Chain A
């Protein structure tokens, strides 16, 4: 099985120290959630106000249920943001997330096809950005990391670009070297 004698000296991803998200990330998550949730509550309140038959059935469960859901969601967001983290190693980027299903995704830099920095209005206001990394074969972005500071995002993108350029340059020089060797052997 798994014939690999070098396993002991391999860099182990379990020992990665993840850097937490930016300070404003929690605020951004909570505000984003409220921006979705409060209009929904307002719409339901309006329906209750104008439709008495609906109100007689749904008013009490909504008055009790909605604040509980809101509170639980806000608490869940706190855990969710605290458990997220990102780490850049020499050859890959790792991202961990998840409260119930904890996952660690690692994407080798050499496999990144393109990168995107995305900033919504709220993110711009809070100095945040999302970094999306795409490789081949994924349905969408392989890594979509929100709640990072804009400066961190730009640094990471630059790091990836430098890595890719360096790789391409070394590949080209390797190719030209092999062409020269081939020509010499032909002569």
Chain B
């Protein structure tokens, strides 16, 4: 390693550090300051003056810390094909990341770097956020050069895979998928981002309700009373209007978040590699090698079913400790039409594409009926009984409601039971599993058996008497499970999965 290779990032990186630490401060540190905020609100008299002083100290502190961090931030790409990084102000840290351990080199272009032609070059290590290296504010050419250097070295170290991918590259032309922003907005309708947005508002709910009661409901009530008269209950109508408004705002937020994440979505596939570029505020580029995909999920929730769209997620290895790692390293194809799903599957699992998404034709095998009986008892009968008792003694309302509760819960339990299914497939010497689950929606997780990390069989005394067993397979991208299988079937699957994991010489990661 040569000393002269150590370099600093561009001074523009200061912008990144300031914003990064400001974000970290708001995200992680704000709750720690709550006791100080309480003391400030209750004890301090001249709040405006001291508030300004506090804000000034925080801003100056942030700028000084960012500057010191920038001064200490040095990186080096060694001749031994390692990326070395020195960072930290109070706690100095040296990070070493071998090219071989780099899973992806992503180039992200935040909106504040766009006019400057600068990007962040992100080196993803296998599933660990703490081991991620970010070189902020480098030029596009430099980032592309480093990426090329890392990927070329990695390919040179894997000659067999390289040969295979070269062959593939020769055979297939580049596939390109571009999603219109109208389609991306549909993902907002399909996804649960609205719920996340509402959850973020949860701490302010009481305040919001008070405000709405005074500002909106009372006025609406007066309006309805005046306009609609005695035909309907004006107060109920006002509350209903408010709820409708809240739902509409949530949907709007969800669509906006979806557009921020997937704006101008472009996906390329060539030589066994996916490259995705998307984002409104930050054009984020993600590359995923097909060999690194641990499992894929094809899902369709009830809204997606109405819109006749599917979502595909390709999961890579995660550390499992941080959910951030998971979401960052999974390649999402948010809104796909039936034929687009098929085109994608032709590239990921060609054998799966042959069925043209007619998954019913795959003849999934279901789980045992004992699961339905158990779930009906625990999740339908007992809650309904509790509700009936509560209804009878406390609410004294009509028995009809209890019957409705039983019927709804039983339907949901039945749907969930029917969704469970499994299918195994053998294609060109490779063994695949497809596990189906869901309730109102449905999702299929597809994985190659040899990528399993561990297996687990679980049974209770009653299950053993009935010859049943639940099965869990841990993948590097999460768990899959099948409850209540016949014990001999579960055992066969466990034995065969282990055989694949232990006898297969291909690299799983």
Contacts and interface: CB of A to CB of B under 8 A. Distances in A.
Interface in A100-129: 100-111
Nearest to B494: A13
A158 interface: no
B499 interface: yes
A92 B491 contact: no
Interface in B466-509: 474-479, 491-496, 498-499, 501-502, 505, 507-509
B474 A138 contact: yes
Most chain B C-beta atoms within 10 Å of own C-beta, residue among A12, A103, A108, A175: A108
A182 interface: yes
A152 interface: no
Interface string B422-451: 011110000100000000000000000000
Contact of A106 (B455, B459, B475): B455
Interface residues of B, number: 51
B426 A111 contact: no
Interface in A123-148: 135-140, 142-143
B460 A100 contact: yes
A92 B502 contact: yes
Nearest to A99: B461
Contacts of B477: 137
B464 interface: yes
Contacts of A138: 320, 453-454, 474
B163 interface: yes
A102 B505 contact: no
B296 interface: no
A75 to B, nearest CB: 17
Contact of A4 (B160, B491, B496, B509): B496
A14 interface: yes
A68 interface: no
Contacts of A111: 452-454, 501, 508
A103 B456 contact: yes
A119 to B, nearest CB: 23
Given A14-B491, A101-B458, A102-B460, A137 B498 contact: no
28 contacts: A1-B423, A1-B424, A7-B495, A7-B496, A91-B498, A92-B502, A100-B461, A101-B460, A102-B458, A103-B457, A104-B456, A106-B454, A106-B455, A107-B453, A108-B502, A111-B452, A111-B501, A136-B318, A136-B509, A137-B320, A138-B453, A138-B454, A139-B321, A142-B454, A171-B505, A175-B159, A175-B160, A178-B159
Interface of B: 126-127, 157-160, 163, 294, 317-321, 363, 365, 423-426, 431, 452-461, 464, 474-479, 491-496, 498-499, 501-502, 505, 507-509
Instruction: List the 4 closest pairs (A to B, CB-CB), nearest first.
Output: A136-B476, A91-B502, A137-B476, A135-B453
